[in-house]
Amino acid sequence: MISLLLLLTVTVAVVAVIASGEDQDPEKGFHVRVETAILELLDDEDIDNDKKITIDDKHIAGTLRGDKQHVVTDLEGKRHRIEGTYFLSTLLQELSLARDAGRDTTFVRFDRIYEPPMQRISRLIRELYWDGLTRRIDETHLPRILKDEKIRTLDGLNYLYVPATDPEGFTYLSGVAQRNPGFHLRVVLLPDTLTPSFIRSLKGKHGLLSLALERMNGGSAQGIPFVVPGGRFNEMYGWDSYFEALGLLEDGRLDLAKAMVDNFVYQINHYGKILNANRTYYLTRSQPPFLTSMIRAVYYRMPRTEESRSWLRRGFEAAVKEYKTVWMGSERLTETGLSRYYDSGEGPPPEVERGHFDAVFAQVAHSTGMDPKEFEQQYRAGVVHVPELDAYFKHDRAMRESGHDTSNRLEGLCADLVTVDLNSLLYKIEIDVAEILEQEFGGAATLGGMEEQFEEWKLRAAVRAKRMTELMWNPERGMFFDYNVRTRAQHRFISATTFYPLWAGLADDRQARLLVDSALSKLEMPGGLVSTTKESRGPVTGDRPARQWDYPNGWPPHQILAWTGLNRYGYHREAQRLAYRWLFMITRGAVDYHGTVPEKFDVFDMTHAVFAEYGNVGTTFSYITREGFGWMNASYQVGLAFLPAELKEKLGLLTPPKQVFP
């Protein structure tokens, strides 16, 4: 790795956080007029007019604009020179927070302007970003979550759907709509049975799905809170929530992490599964199952009481129900005894923007002699039927349930694959249920009306591990590969998901050693773990566009799972090295780009400039990010807790606290 000292000028001086919010000692800061200071700073240094100060704001020759030096005049007429991209950006962030608080003047603290990046990123995640990403479905908070930029209704109304099994929720939310005509809200009770045909009938009327409510004193209701990923993802997502919960727990937000579990239990009990996210167009699919891991992470932070044990039981009842009815149900369980991702819907997923499938429609249209746009319109309307295209969208929808949407690993064949990632997660569920039954319930408990024995769940896990080794383990290549049930062969596409068996604990020591020797050398990049190898991804062409879950991109869940898995098997140095690379990349990106904490990174070039498919959520904001991105926030907090002291100290030196006092 390139040395930090070569990337940025570093000094060993570190500015301590010295002033409380009430401390206005002139030696520790200065008073300014907020709006004046913002306008002068932007005029001087925001050359590209994006309301941020970054390394992309180039110096205009022959002027002082963009030279990364700015003089602030305080209320007493004293001048304060601030130098450097990072320090100017933190000044703008602090001024914008003061403006948001409604202040005409403010005391700008030196320790905040010159706050070391590692401490600042972590503090803002803890103090600002989690709250910025928190939502509730209730009268007070609905306006913030109703809008969905991914899809629009034909009549301009905001639809909110409530399960038939939640009449109290329907009554409350119907009252909200009546009391607030400005919400343009229509509350609809879902039918008892949710079929793919019913969900197709919602075209033009898709909307938000209700989540759990709690009754307050006096009979009023309040939505149980949850964290959203951020940006265009303004709802509660399936696997994102597990990683967000890990970050919340690191930051002492136990109640919020617990609340997210409660909302997942609600989803299983009322919608039949944890949804891709709580919008109607996601009712046909789930996402990677992490619920038992999430419950255990929360439970071990709770005091041991009868109330917490009851909460644990309710959570595991729901998890066992989903395991049996969804993941071991007829749609997802294959003849191999292993499970696949699947989506019961048909045709193009409605949440995907028009244009995303242009290459797919064009290829099929050309074979029929039709104009691609006309062909797409007729296919979507059901006028033309093409079995080949029907199969493609079945695979595409399954890929979206996998969370890896999209990747050439899964493109066009996902429904035929029993994947390493899914079956590792199911193995982990089986182990979790066995261990909780043994440790907390004396070996057996009635969950959902069925007597569950820990020995039976241990046997399930052992059978799955054996079958995965038979079908997925490749000793010559030293990796786990997905297995194609149609071709009855391994799908030898190298992906970061090959490390999932380490996280789940199903690999033996020899497999772990071979994985580290074989896969790590292929997937480790300057910025951490890459999603796939370049060779497996293959060439990028007009007919085969770049996919966001492929090389050169890296994602937070892969990092966290790999760190944990490597650590589990004793590969501590490798895990810490990966974590350090990832955190260094986030920190450097925030230093250069005004505190940006994005959805994903190009880990080869160590940049957030990722343009595949949907761009990079979390990079578009003005003045200061108030959210970051959910699982990226989590990876930073989890990573800091994971690093040993010497690496954390090294990371803390990134960017010198250069100060020019009056």
- CA 148/CA 621 separation, integer angstroms: 18
Question: Is pLDDT at 501 greater than 60 in this prediction?
Answer: yes
Cβ distance 564 to 503 under 8 Å?
yes
Instruction: Give the burial class of 237: count Cβ atoms within 10 A of its Cβ; 0-12 exposed, 13-18 middle, 19 or more buried.
Output: buried
| pLDDT confidence of residue 26 | 79
Mean pLDDT lowest for which of 193-202, 429-438, 501-510? 193-202
| pLDDT confidence of residue 242 | 98
Position 339, amino acid: S
Going by C-alpha positions, the residue among 37, 16, 159, 49 that lies closest to residue 103 is: 37
Question: Is pLDDT at 181 greater than 50 in this prediction?
Answer: yes
**pLDDT tens per residue across span 329-378:** 999 999 999 999 999 999 999 999 888 898 899 989 888 889 999 999 99
Give 3-state DSSP helix, strand, coil % of the chain, rounded to 5: 45, 10, 40
Indicate if 599 belongs to the active site: yes
Residue 185 carries which DSSP code? Answer: E
> In the chain, what percentage of residues exceed pLDDT 70?
95
| pLDDT confidence of residue 657 | 52
> What is the longest distance spanned by two Cα atoms in the chain?
79
Segment 460-486 mean pLDDT: 98
Beta strands at 226-227 and 444-447: parallel, antiparallel or unpaired: unpaired
Going by C-alpha positions, the residue among 339, 359, 292, 294 that lies closest to residue 547 is: 359
> In the chain, what percentage of residues exceed pLDDT 90?
87
**pLDDT tens per residue across span 287-315:** 999 999 999 999 999 999 999 999 999 99
Which DSSP helix (H) or strand (E) runs through 90?
Answer: helix 85-100
| pLDDT confidence of residue 594 | 97
Question: Is pLDDT at 229 greater than 70 in this prediction?
Answer: yes
Mean pLDDT lowest for which of 37-51, 338-352, 622-636, 642-656? 642-656
Segment 595-610 mean pLDDT: 97
- CA 289/CA 294 separation, integer angstroms: 10
**pLDDT tens per residue across span 507-549:** 999 999 999 999 999 999 999 999 999 999 999 988 788 999 9
Position 49, amino acid: N
Position 515, amino acid: L
Segment 581-591 mean pLDDT: 97
264 C-beta neighbours (distance < 10 Å), count: 30
Segment 615-636 mean pLDDT: 95
- What is the secondary structure of 389-426 as a DSSP string? HHHHHHHHHHHHHTT--S-TTTTTTGGGEE-HHHHHHH
Number of helical H runs and strand E runs in the chain: 25, 22
pTM assigned to the model: 0.94
Work out the mean pLDDT of the chain and round it to a whole number: 93
Question: Is pLDDT at 593 greater than 90 in this prediction?
Answer: yes
Question: Is pLDDT at 380 greater than 80 in this prediction?
Answer: yes
**pLDDT tens per residue across span 31-44:** 999 999 999 999 99
Cβ distance 424 to 503 under 8 Å?
yes
Question: Is pLDDT at 609 greater than 80 in this prediction?
Answer: yes
Contacts of 166 (CB under 8 A, 6+ apart): 210, 270
- CA 22/CA 506 separation, integer angstroms: 53
Mean pLDDT lowest for which of 32-46, 175-189, 360-374, 459-473? 360-374
Question: Is pLDDT at 8 greater than 70 in this prediction?
Answer: no
Instruction: Give the burial class of 310: count Cβ atoms within 10 A of its Cβ; 0-12 exposed, 13-18 middle, 19 or more buried.
Output: exposed
| pLDDT confidence of residue 159 | 97
Indicate if 405 belongs to the active site: yes
Candidates 430, 599, 602, 627; catalytic one: 599
| pLDDT confidence of residue 656 | 57
Cβ distance 520 to 547 under 8 Å?
no
SS3 state of residue 93: helix
Question: Is pLDDT at 17 greater than 50 in this prediction?
Answer: no
Candidates 235, 251, 322, 405; catalytic one: 405
